[in-house]
Amino acid sequence: MSSPAGPSRIGGLGPRHRKPPTVEPRVPTEDYDEEHERLTTNFNHPRNRSAIEQYMEAPHAKQITVVVLTVLAFIVRFAKLNHPDQVVFDEVHFGKFAAYYLRREYYFDVHPPFAKLLLALAGWFVGFEGDFDFLNIGDSYSANNVPYWGMRALPAILGSLTVPVVYYIMQECGYSTIIAAFSAIIILFDNAHVTQSRLILLDAILIFFMSLTIYSYVKFRKYRYHEFTFDWWAWMLATGVFMACTWSSKVNGILTVVAVGIAVMVDLWDLLDWRKSDNERITKHFLARVVGFIVVPLIFYLFFFWIHFAILTHSGTGDGFMSPAFQETLIGNELLMNSHEIRYFDTITIKHVNTKNLLHSHPQRYPRDYPDKRVSSQGQQVTGYPHEDENNNWIVVPTKALPETGRGRIVRHNDIIQLLHVQTDSFLMTHDVASPGYTTHQEFTTLPKDQMHRYNETLFHLHLIDGYEGQVLTTKANHFKLQHAVTTVYMMLPGHELPDWAFNQQEVNGHRQPEPEGSEIWVGDAIVAGEHLDELDERLGNQKDRKPKSMNFFSKFIQLQDLMFAHNAGLTASHPYASSPSSWPFAKKGISFWTQNEGHKQIYMVGNLVGWWTAAGAVFLIFGIFPASIFAERRNIPVLTESVTHRLWNSCGFFVVVWVVHYAPFFLFSRQLFLHHYLPAHLASALIAGAVLNFICTETINYPISYRGLDTPPKPREYADLGVKGPVFVGVFTLLQFSLFIFMAPLTYGTPGLDGDEVNRHRLRKSWTLHFASKEMADL
Amino acid sequence: MAANFRARRPPSPPPQQIYTPPPTQPRFPHPKHEHLDADERRTQASKSYFAGRRTSPGGLNVASAEWKLLVLVVIVASIVRLFRISQPNGVVFDEVHFGKFASKYIKTQFFVDVHPPLAKLLITLAGFLFGYDGNFDFKEISKIYENVPYVAMRMVPAILGVATVPLAYLTMRGLECRATTALLAAVFVTFENGLVTQSRHILLDSPLLFFTSLTTFLWVCFCNEDKRHPFSEGWWTWLMLTGLSLGAVVSCKWVGLFTIATIGFSTINQLWSLLGDLRVSPRLWIRHFMARALCLIVVPILFYLFIFEIHFLILANSGEGDGFMSAEFQHTLGGHSMQDTYADIAIGSAVNIRHINTQGGYLHSHAHNYPGGSGQQQVTLYPHRDSNNDWRITIAKDSGHPETEWADEPLQYVTAGMKVRLRHIITDKNLHSHDFRPPVSDVDFQNEVSTYGMTGFVGDGNDDWFVEIEHGDKSDKESSKRLRTLRTAFRLKHALTGCYLFSHKVKLPDWGFEQQEVTCNKNAMKANSLWMVETATHPNLPLHAQKVNYRLPSFLAKFWELQKVMWITNAGLTDRHVYDSRPHQWPRLRRGINFWVKDHKQIYLLGNPFVWWSSTLAAIAYMSVRGLLVLRAKRGYRDFDNTKVVKYDSLCGFLFMGWFLHYTPFFLMARQLFLHHYFPALYFAILLFCSFFDLMTAALRPKVRLQIGAVLMIIAIWNFWYLSPLAYGNQWTSHKCRRAQWLRTWDFSW
């Protein structure tokens, strides 16, 4: 550890090197001054650096490095791109969605549309017409003439470009070429990143835009002494736009927004210091950031959804998720075709929206005594029944005078109605008697026509959901609630099965505050008969050429957001390849993407252990270095030079924030999680690894790196020198990483096939569940 | 009036008295503190620190008149909490559970509950002393008590509830608030309807709150002592007591962990200040650190362990909780012992096979068929001993008489990798698996397991299983090479499809008698595919052959296992309850809990709205004021140079942290939550409100302060009185009841 530059910093904290400080506050000693002077004289001049460093820092060497890295990235990601010519893993979903865009059929997915739009664009570009359904993993592309390689090329291109972006992030942060290359190589030869970017999946796109966001933000920070100049604005807006692209690619892109948000807040907090800025300056900065980091990204996010809606104009698989009003905006939608106005004295069936049960009644009565010693009214049973039946028919009876003909006879929002059960000729009612299953709910029953003294108890207010005054009640399209006029309870179906005496049908009852949510929502299912026999056909005809209705973009957008959120939270089913976040950094468990029995081929998505463990180790180290640095500062022990502390907190600290924000929240999600959710955090850990390597190898850095402004006081320049250690370490690392990458390649590219013994040899960790493992395992 | 006074006065001071002018200094001089640094300012702000002042233990400067006041407060609190405590004479709310647990303790029957034992033990003790025999079943709410000293049992939470009141007073005094403020806090805690209701029944929250407030009080005293004489005898005493009290909190309910977090953060804050003080040498700092680690980490853990030791000592016999525990654990309970069994297992052994990871029991089959799938005979897990659990291990071959021919051959031990069949002895069928989906877990990677065959039928390839030994026992080297009873954990791999014999906590429907499902899983989680042989017999084994039995687990092993079971059970309490609520509703007092209803009388847990809402306001106010102060400091205002700000900042900061840490973690919990989970947080919020009162009235004359305080107290007491029929279950007119429903969401029925 004893480098020529003096006692190493890490060792310096240990008891071996440093006697416990005395009680007096420590002042910088002479030793320290000398040390500092030696450092500054040595590294204040670029020519004093080692030969390798000087060579690698030359502009042409940097260019060559980038070109080599990029070319390698393309080779690695495009090799055998057309293999396998079958649907792999989630291509089932994302390929299908691209096809829907091309067919313009509405679908529903939990992820925002941007990445899928790009995939569709790629498909369109190579001539895919959307005529393939991506039904099952293993379906053949070539047999169906799908230009799948064109669609796979898009993630592959973006995935390849991620590598130079990572390189540039590190370079812009002031790290040496070697260090920057090191971070880039962790991504370049990583089996997980390569697997993910060779297929029609969203993650490569997400990661590319995420890295661009980080890059732009670093650039923006470097222009901080040139505030409100063109460059400053340009990089801020670039950050905002890329942030929006990341977020619009996949739901978890929101984490990138959070990470940048935290960095911006820290930055603003710094600016808020009264010594730095007056009120006017801080206000300007604040407003500028609101525009750049909130308004612009939001506009882009909305814009992508606008495109999404603009393309998907036809009815498709996603209709059923949406509200009736939304569905009626889609061409060819079933609701649009089959929804009819309901008039008084129509005979209709009424369906419970959540459970699809129909409102039903039959001559049987509620039993007098319940097992818990309560008694019923012994009225006629009213239940929910999921099958078609004569007993589901109800006539809507008005409580107001109707005109003879015309539109006055239509049932409207806020009308007070009665429902007449056709088979038993009695009116639906409820009263203050507890229902069979719940002591807190009211019983629903029917009232024979002759008991007019209880007329009031048969009256119900009809409330359309989101209804407006005078809105027409239609079948299928208008959800409604029925509120009892006297007791103000809502008719609801809580999901409780009645015993044998009601033929195990569903209980219908009433409560003021219905639980679970939505259990009081009903919809007119069909008009069975009109008041007069012949009128109905006439009314129901002429529907085919109905024009789709229009709907405000923002209401569509908000509805879709709500649904996406709800469904994302609902993805909790277990999956054999799901894994827990704690297992990710060490690549404990991968995902089987695809298998083919013939030739024993398989694609198994898992990280390159060399790179992943190095990166994870670096993260562990940094979480030791930070507290040590805080501790030293608290005890007033000078261990690090100001510039190194500055770099450690401002640059590496930012990477750590990115890593934590892209990783820690997953511990709180109860949804299905997979290894590929760690890939953005893995990219951040690669950046941390570079910073940590620099910190370990040398106590010199390139400093300052921000563009100096007109009134910024000059700082003495320093130059980094990795010496020989750095390049040697990176060289050895690259060799190991590359060898393991090649070794694992059959699992990454899905070819060539492996026999049982080879599979066993490729199972580097016991927890990996590879297919076609040798059967002899059992006899061991 | 003034004129009268003047007239009566003597015209001038009597000549013999010398007039002394009033002192020139103002009565309350502004301290000159511009020259002080931050540390000195903090000490200045602390009244009890002044040199020369008589120091009392824990920095409590309580005047003797206050002790009298305190006695009065305790008497009032006792009246409020003990008033008609015998009413109602039936089971109320969760007395169903905690009363039942007391019965179990008295009958020494093992049970599993999600809460640690201390509070339940205290309640049991009271019941035991007053002669409860444990024969009442606490079956349902409002069942009338018979032969239960329920008043004595209710007295435990009630007395601890009373004790919370003087603790609140003393805590505020320890925090250097004025006597009026402390009185206000005591009155607010006394007349909090929710705390009153909760402490009048056999429930755990009142003991929990008592220990929380005790810990807070002890810690406050410790902090005072720490400022003056670190490492003095008093210092050690306060610290040790805090540690013991912390142990008690967490032994009542796991929510006590939040109290530990509060004290923990406060400790870290102390240590951090010490670390920045360069006059404190590293050696001294380490002493500070070690002392706190010893008293605040080691002592609570030991206390917690000790309570569980008592728990195990009392619950020595088998009971309802057995099913949650592992087989080894169960064998430590009376009534579960098992005869020694043969250690060796060979082809031809009759065995009982037990699933290791779940408590489902033994591999079982019975003469009933699956209604779907293959329609063959069911295979399940069954938790009790039964002859249908008996299987014979035979060699896998398709000819000859594998059922009987081993009898003539020498013993052939079952080793790793051996291909065997399992024959269900009673129905004469082989354990079988095939490509049908199981009835409940109908997924691609699961196969159905059945028994198939008939007498005389040798079996087919689908009956073959490979024995894979997962691990043996360290004490028995043979056990990792071949099957040994109780010592070897093994898996059974189906020879043809490669799936593993598997079971999980999924119950079969009625047709399977709600026994646990057994499947063959191609993607088996290892833990759920592990099995062991519990008993084995073989006719050819010599009589003196080695026998084994369960090895009894040590106390720590039992302790740890029980902790895990408690955790899992706790996390599994996610069903909805009619009166459950979510944390965001609590500070607004949106809804209470219906405890008991009978004959038009009701007990409904609801807080004192005035106390409740004002305490919430205090928490919000602290957040906004503190935020504003930080912003102002950043913009160059020097508020924190003011000693008053420094004093109240640290004081309110501590209480706010208590509120925050006892409240916000609930947002992360998915389990069923109730209003009473907010009580510890409420306690801190009340103290926070009172310290705000102290700050606001700091510049007023004591008399005015007392008057304002009295008004607040009267409002609180009026509020209490207004809603008190709900707390005591008293008679109430329906008109008054209706009028008391201030929020539409308070759903006491009327």
* In chain A, where the domains are located: 30-307+580-762, 341-538
Please report the pLDDT score of residue B401 as a whole number: 74
Would you state the structure tokens that stand for residue A536, as one six-digit string?
Answer: 């109905």
Q: What sign for the dihedral angle of Cα A103, A107, A113, A119? A: negative
Encode pLDDT of B124-134 as tens digits.
Answer: 999 999 999 98
Query: How far away is chain A from the Cα of B691, in angstroms, using its nearest Cα?
Result: 30
Q: What sign for the dihedral angle of Cα B21, B23, B26, B27? A: negative
Rg over CA atoms, chain B: 34
Encode pLDDT of A106-149 as tens digits.
Answer: 999 999 999 999 999 999 999 998 888 888 888 899 888 899 99
pLDDT at B15 over 60: no
B399 — pLDDT class (breaks 50, 70, 90): confident
Pick the CATH number of A341-538 from 3.40.50.2300, 2.80.10.50, 3.50.50.60, 1.20.1050.10: 2.80.10.50
Element (H, E) at A621: helix A609-634
Angle between helices B299-314 and B555-571 (to 10 degrees): 90
A776 — pLDDT class (breaks 50, 70, 90): very low
Q: What percentage of chain B carries pLDDT values higher than 70?
A: 92
Rounded CA-CA distance B542/B264 in Å is 62
B544 — pLDDT class (breaks 50, 70, 90): confident
Q: What sign for the dihedral angle of Cα B268, B274, B280, B281? A: positive
DSSP 8-class letter at B22: P
pLDDT at A213 over 60: yes
Contact B366, B433 (CB under 8 A): no
Rounded CA-CA distance B461/B468 in Å is 18
Q: What percentage of chain A carries pLDDT values higher than 90?
A: 48
Which of A413-422, A707-716, B646-655, B705-714 shows the lowest mean pLDDT across its residues? Answer: A707-716
Q: How many CB atoms lie within 10 A of CB A538?
A: 9
DSSP 8-class letter at A314: B
pLDDT at A378 over 60: yes
Q: Which of B466, B578, B634 sits opposite A778 (nearest CB)?
A: B466
**CA A499 to the chain's CA centroid:** 44
Residue in the block written with tokens 């009142």? B206
Q: HEC profile for B600-646?
A: CEEEEECCCHHHHHHHHHHHHHHHHHHHHHHHHHHCCCCHHHCHHHH
Query: Would you call B278 and A769 a contact, using CB atoms and an 8 Å cutoff?
Result: no
- Residue in chain A nearest B466 by alpha carbon: A778
Encode pLDDT of A222-279 as tens digits.
Answer: 999 999 999 999 999 999 999 999 999 999 999 999 999 999 999 999 999 988 888 8
Contact residues, chain A to chain B, C-beta under 8 Å: 20-26, 269, 272-275, 440, 576, 631, 634-636, 668, 670, 769, 775, 778-780
- Which residue type occupies B56? S
Contact B381, B355 (CB under 8 A): yes
Query: How far away is chain B from the Cα of A634, in angstroms, using its nearest Cα?
Result: 5
Would you state the structure tokens that stand for residue A160, as one six-digit string?
Answer: 């390849």
Encode pLDDT of A487-518 as tens digits.
Answer: 888 999 988 888 888 888 889 998 888 877 88
Burial code (b: 16+ CB inside 10 Å, e: under 16) for B132-155 equals bebebebeebeeebeebbbbbbbb
Residue B655 vs residues B61, B684, B686: alpha-carbon distances, Å: 20, 6, 9
Residue in the block written with tokens 């940590």? A692
β-strands B446-452, B429-434 pairing: antiparallel
Encode pLDDT of B708-746 as tens digits.
Answer: 999 999 999 999 999 999 999 888 888 888 888 888 888
Encode pLDDT of B546-569 as tens digits.
Answer: 888 888 889 999 999 999 999 988
Report the predicted TM-score, pTM, of the whole model to 2 decimal places.
0.79
A754 — pLDDT class (breaks 50, 70, 90): confident
Give backbone dihedrals phi and psi of A718, rounded to 5 degrees, phi first.
-130, 155
pLDDT at B213 over 50: yes
Interface with A, mutate which of B139, B268, B278, B598 (most A CBs under 10 A): B278
Q: What percentage of chain A carries pLDDT values higher than 70?
A: 92
Encode pLDDT of A638-694 as tens digits.
Answer: 888 888 888 999 999 999 999 999 999 999 887 788 999 999 999 999 999 999 999
Of A202, A199, A305, nearest in space to A564 by CA: A305
Would you state the structure tokens that stand for residue A642, as one six-digit string?
Answer: 């100001």
CA angle B206, B208, B210 (to 5 degrees): 70
Please report the pLDDT score of residue B223 as a whole number: 93
Please report the pLDDT score of residue A549 as a whole number: 83
Of A119, A132, A99, A80, nearest in space to A203 by CA: A119
Taking one residue from A and the other from B, the number of pairs with CB-CB distance under 8 angstroms is 46
Average pLDDT over residues B479-483: 85
A298 — pLDDT class (breaks 50, 70, 90): very high
Chain A residue numbers touching B498 (CB-CB < 8 A): 775
Rounded CA-CA distance B675/B587 in Å is 9
Query: Would you call B466 and A22 a contact, using CB atoms and an 8 Å cutoff?
Result: no
Rounded CA-CA distance B339/B353 in Å is 16
Would you state the structure tokens that stand for residue A498, as one six-digit string?
Answer: 């009645």
Chain B residue numbers touching A274 (CB-CB < 8 A): 634-636
Of A573, A413, A550, nearest in space to A479 by CA: A413
- Residue in chain A nearest B273 by alpha carbon: A634
**CA B491 to the chain's CA centroid:** 37
Rounded CA-CA distance B708/B723 in Å is 23
User: Based on the number of CB atoms within 10 Å of its own CB, is B244 exposed (0-12), middle (13-18) or buried (19 or more)?
Assistant: middle
Q: What sign for the dihedral angle of Cα B117, B118, B124, B129? A: positive
DSSP A508-528: -EEESS-SSTTTT-EEEEEEE
Bigger pLDDT: B399 vs B544: B544
Query: Would you call B631 and A272 a contact, using CB atoms and an 8 Å cutoff?
Result: yes
- Cβ within 8 Å of residue B678, ≥6 positions away: B583, B586, B587, B663, B666
Interface confidence: ipTM more than 0.90? no
Query: How far away is chain A from the Cα of B93, in angstroms, using its nearest Cα?
Result: 17
pLDDT at B624 over 90: yes
- Report yes or no: B278 at the A interface, CB cutoff 8 Å: yes
Chain B residue numbers touching A635 (CB-CB < 8 A): 275-276, 278
E strand spans, A537-649 = 591-596, 601-605
Chain B residue numbers touching A272 (CB-CB < 8 A): 631, 634-635
pLDDT at B155 over 80: yes
Please report the pLDDT score of residue A638 as a whole number: 82
Angle between helices B118-129 and B150-174 (to 10 degrees): 130
Contact B381, B358 (CB under 8 A): yes
Of A646, A642, A683, A637, nearest in space to A662 by CA: A683
Rounded CA-CA distance A91/A201 in Å is 6
Interface with A, mutate which of B480, B634, B671 (most A CBs under 10 A): B634
Most confident of A21-30, A275-284, A510-519, B25-34: A275-284
pLDDT at A105 over 90: yes
Classified as helix, coil or strand, B104 is: helix
- Report yes or no: B667 at the A interface, CB cutoff 8 Å: no
Would you state the structure tokens that stand for residue A108, as one six-digit string?
Answer: 């529903």
Chain A residue numbers touching B521 (CB-CB < 8 A): none
Please report the pLDDT score of residue B613 as a whole number: 95
CA angle B625, B630, B633 (to 5 degrees): 120
B2 — pLDDT class (breaks 50, 70, 90): very low
First to last CA, chain B: 57
CA dihedral A591→A595→A599→A604, nearest 10 degrees, is -10
Element (H, E) at B168: helix B150-174
Most confident of A133-142, A296-305, B350-359: A296-305
Rounded CA-CA distance A444/B722 in Å is 37
Interface with B, mutate which of A23, A136, A272 (most B CBs under 10 A): A23
pLDDT at A534 over 80: no
Chain A residue numbers touching B417 (CB-CB < 8 A): 778-780
Rounded CA-CA distance B467/A579 in Å is 28
pLDDT at A13 over 50: no
Encode pLDDT of A303-353 as tens digits.
Answer: 999 999 999 999 888 888 888 888 888 888 877 777 788 888 888 999 998
Rounded CA-CA distance B188/B240 in Å is 30
Chain A residue numbers touching B636 (CB-CB < 8 A): 274-275
Please report the pLDDT score of residue B55 as a whole number: 61
Encode pLDDT of B675-709 as tens digits.
Answer: 999 999 999 999 999 999 999 998 899 999 999 99
Burial code (b: 16+ CB inside 10 Å, e: under 16) for A108-117 equals bbbbbbbbbb
First to last CA, chain A: 45
Residue A157 vs residues A74, A149, A268, A741: alpha-carbon distances, Å: 7, 12, 36, 19
- Which residue type occupies A451? Q
Bigger pLDDT: A542 vs B430: B430
Give backbone dihedrals phi and psi of A351, rounded to 5 degrees, phi first.
-110, 140
Query: How far away is chain A from the Cα of B38, in angstroms, using its nearest Cα?
Result: 16
Encode pLDDT of A178-190 as tens digits.
Answer: 999 999 999 999 9
pLDDT at A544 over 70: no
pLDDT at A17 over 70: no
DSSP B60-71: ----HHHHHHHH
Of B97, B81, B119, nearest in space to B211 by CA: B119
Interface with A, mutate which of B492, B581, B635 (most A CBs under 10 A): B635
Contact B73, B169 (CB under 8 A): yes
- Which residue type occupies B507? K
DSSP A712-734: SPP---B----TTHHHHHHHHHH
pLDDT at A9 over 60: no
Would you state the structure tokens that stand for residue B309, as one six-digit string?
Answer: 């030791």
Query: Would you call B278 and A269 a contact, using CB atoms and an 8 Å cutoff?
Result: no
Average pLDDT over residues A570-582: 81
Omega prior to B402 cis, within 30 of 0: no
A77 — pLDDT class (breaks 50, 70, 90): very high
Angle between helices B179-190 and B702-728 (to 10 degrees): 10
Rounded CA-CA distance A106/A193 in Å is 31
CA angle B576, B528, A607 (to 5 degrees): 95
Average pLDDT of the residues of chain A: 87
A526 — pLDDT class (breaks 50, 70, 90): confident
Q: Which of B278, B634, B670 sits opposite A273 (nearest CB)?
A: B634
